Copies of this chain bind each other. A is one copy, B any other.
Amino acid sequence: MEAIRQRIAARALVPGDRLPSIRQFAKTMRASPSTIVQAYDRLVAEGVIAPRLGSGFYVTGRTLPPLLLAEAHTPTTRAVDPFWVSRQSLDSDPTTLKPGCGWLPTEWMPNDALRKAFRAVARGENSILSEYGSTRGAVRLRRLLTAQFAEGGLDVSPDQVLLTGSGTQAVDLICRLLVRRGDTVLVDDPCYFNFQALLRAHEIRIVGVPYTATGPDTEAFEQIILREKPRLYITNSVVHNPTGSSLSPQTAFRLLSLSAASNLLIVEDDIFADFETTLVPRLAVMDGLEHVIRIGSFSKTLSASVRCGYIAARQDLIAGLIDLQVATSFGGPSPVITEVIADVLKGGSYRKHMLEIQRRLGKSRKVVACKLEDLGILPWVEPKSGFYLWCRLPDGQDSTDIAVRSMADNIIHAPGNVFSVSQSASSFMRFNVTQCEEERVFHSLEVLFAGRSLSKTAKSGL
């Protein structure tokens, strides 16, 4: 897109000119034809070029609003805070490599099942196509969820489940209901960076609990509860983000005992449940939703475009959450969205799809760990499930520094400190193994490390 824009700006292409053919331009740019198709499509959407039936693409002569040119990327001068990784990876163009992002490549998703479900929507009832839907969200999907929960040992009725716009919105609604400005909320240190961004938006005091390979440090947890009197604790039990480790039964029991004694509510974000390959204890199951709220979504396993989250909680909490969702979103998630998710979950292929994903991930985690090890980058634990490797960089390399410098190579990394409340993870980096398929990721790190070592050597040589 940039190359075409530059040619137009330089008047090498003027209004009415025909653009190079897809094949020809793919050769020039050393890109795949599908990348060029995508770039041309986007330029068409921007009105810069227009297709003529059967004869290629032409420059329209319409000028772009000047700000649009700068829009695609978040300025790199922005502080490397919890928003940094989100905005960089969400707004990146398709040529960017994203080992720092938190999702699977689109080819890994169950796209055929999604297509089938959308065809069914196109044939389906008007009410699914154009109505608001009920305040709790489609009962069909809530029943499927409760059936899943029951398999895991948690019996809840579908009316204890509220469907939300996303997993993030689920946490947001819970904070709105239960936490007030200035209250304290506990998170793991390190934890998913967007928990921090979200809590900051609520002007909530965030306190981190040191995370160990078997869950949060329960001694520290106890002391912090006594000292801080927090309202909530937000955590992942399975495939903890960013470390990839999971809760041990002992830690789970200890956490629940401590929380019950001090009336602390726990939000257990179960978003990675379908990646689980070994049996991990769930706080929501052990506790039976008395002091635990379970949330989750389908964005990591099914589709981030067909977005929907859920909250399973005590009946009294659900009633308040429904009103809040009506006030702030007018109703639950779209009937189309929930119908498509229910279709995919119910279709026979989903379980098989996830087994295949788990198999691929097991292999991918090993391959990427080996390649990282060659660079002296070592995983903190060896995760049994999921797509994250939480790794220490060699020689005191600073991960924020590496992340900023990687932008020049068109690579987005997730530096440790965006996950750390105490800012104590500067030598860590989270790698998404599914986004590390190109050698360029490793080569870029090697060059950056070498540069840093060279300049160190140069300095010490002075």
The proximity string for A residues 72-90 relative to B, scoring 1 for CB distances below 8 Å and 0 otherwise, is: 1010000000010011001
**Which residues of B have CB within 8 Å of A169?**
165, 328-329
> Across the interface, do B118 and A131 meet the contact criterion of CB distance under 8 Å?
no
> Across the interface, do B197 and A326 meet the contact criterion of CB distance under 8 Å?
yes
Decide yes or no whether A27 CB sits under 8 A from chain B: no
| A323 to B176 Cα, complex, angstroms | 18
> Across the interface, do A176 and B158 meet the contact criterion of CB distance under 8 Å?
no
**Which residues of B have CB within 8 Å of A109?**
126, 129-130
> Across the interface, do B336 and A306 meet the contact criterion of CB distance under 8 Å?
yes
> Across the interface, do B115 and A129 meet the contact criterion of CB distance under 8 Å?
yes
Residues A323-360 near B (CB distance < 8 A): 323-324, 326-331, 334-337
Decide yes or no whether A151 CB sits under 8 A from chain B: no
Tell me how far the C-beta of A403 lies from the nearest C-beta in chain B, rounded to whole angstroms: 18
> Across the interface, do A315 and B67 meet the contact criterion of CB distance under 8 Å?
yes
| A106 to B336 Cα, complex, angstroms | 14
| A94 to B134 Cα, complex, angstroms | 11
Could you say which of A297-305, A389-397, A420-428, A435-443 contacts chain B? A297-305
A45, A115, A139, A176 — most chain B CB neighbours (10 Å): A45
| A324 to B83 Cα, complex, angstroms | 10
**Which residues of B have CB within 8 Å of A167?**
330
> Across the interface, do A83 and B327 meet the contact criterion of CB distance under 8 Å?
yes
Decide yes or no whether A181 CB sits under 8 A from chain B: yes
Decide yes or no whether A452 CB sits under 8 A from chain B: no
Residues A280-328 near B (CB distance < 8 A): 299, 302-307, 315, 322-324, 326-328
The proximity string for A residues 409-453 relative to B, scoring 1 for CB distances below 8 Å and 0 otherwise, is: 000000000000000000000000000000000000000000000
> Across the interface, do B322 and A334 meet the contact criterion of CB distance under 8 Å?
no
**Which residues of B have CB within 8 Å of A111?**
126, 129-130
| A334 to B169 Cα, complex, angstroms | 14
A71-B172 CB under 8 A given contacts A198-B327, A201-B327, A330-B86: no
**Which residues of B have CB within 8 Å of A371?**
none
Decide yes or no whether A143 CB sits under 8 A from chain B: yes
> Across the interface, do A87 and B326 meet the contact criterion of CB distance under 8 Å?
yes
Among B70, B126, B304, contact of A107 (Cβ-Cβ < 8 Å): B126
Decide yes or no whether A152 CB sits under 8 A from chain B: no
Among B47, B119, B197, B322, contact of A143 (Cβ-Cβ < 8 Å): B47
A305-B131 CB under 8 A given contacts A159-B71, A194-B326: yes
**Which residues of B have CB within 8 Å of A226?**
none
| A135 to B194 Cα, complex, angstroms | 14
- Can you name the residue of chain B whose Cβ is closest to the Cβ of A338? B305
Decide yes or no whether A123 CB sits under 8 A from chain B: yes
- Can you name the residue of chain B whose Cβ is closest to the Cβ of A117? B122
| A303 to B331 Cα, complex, angstroms | 14
Decide yes or no whether A279 CB sits under 8 A from chain B: no
Decide yes or no whether A65 CB sits under 8 A from chain B: yes
A107, A299, A329 — most chain B CB neighbours (10 Å): A329
The proximity string for A residues 134-166 relative to B, scoring 1 for CB distances below 8 Å and 0 otherwise, is: 111001100100100000000001111000011
Residues A35-50 near B (CB distance < 8 A): 38, 42, 45-47
Among B45, B72, B168, contact of A140 (Cβ-Cβ < 8 Å): B45
Decide yes or no whether A114 CB sits under 8 A from chain B: yes
Decide yes or no whether A363 CB sits under 8 A from chain B: no
> Across the interface, do A67 and B157 meet the contact criterion of CB distance under 8 Å?
yes
> Across the interface, do B126 and A118 meet the contact criterion of CB distance under 8 Å?
no
Given A65-B159, A118-B129, A130-B305, 15 more A-B residue pairs with CB atoms under 8 Å apart are A65-B146, A67-B157, A67-B159, A67-B160, A86-B135, A90-B331, A115-B122, A118-B121, A129-B303, A129-B305, A129-B306, A130-B303, A130-B304, A131-B304, A172-B329
Please name 26 pairs of A and B residues whose Cβ atoms are closer than 8 Å in the assembled complex, sorted by A.
A65-B158, A83-B323, A83-B327, A87-B135, A94-B127, A106-B129, A109-B126, A111-B126, A122-B122, A130-B302, A130-B303, A130-B306, A131-B305, A132-B305, A133-B304, A133-B305, A172-B328, A176-B201, A194-B326, A194-B330, A198-B328, A201-B327, A201-B328, A305-B336, A306-B336, A307-B334
Q: Which 7 A-B pairs have the closest CB atoms?
A: A65-B157, A109-B130, A118-B122, A197-B327, A45-B140, A130-B303, A168-B330
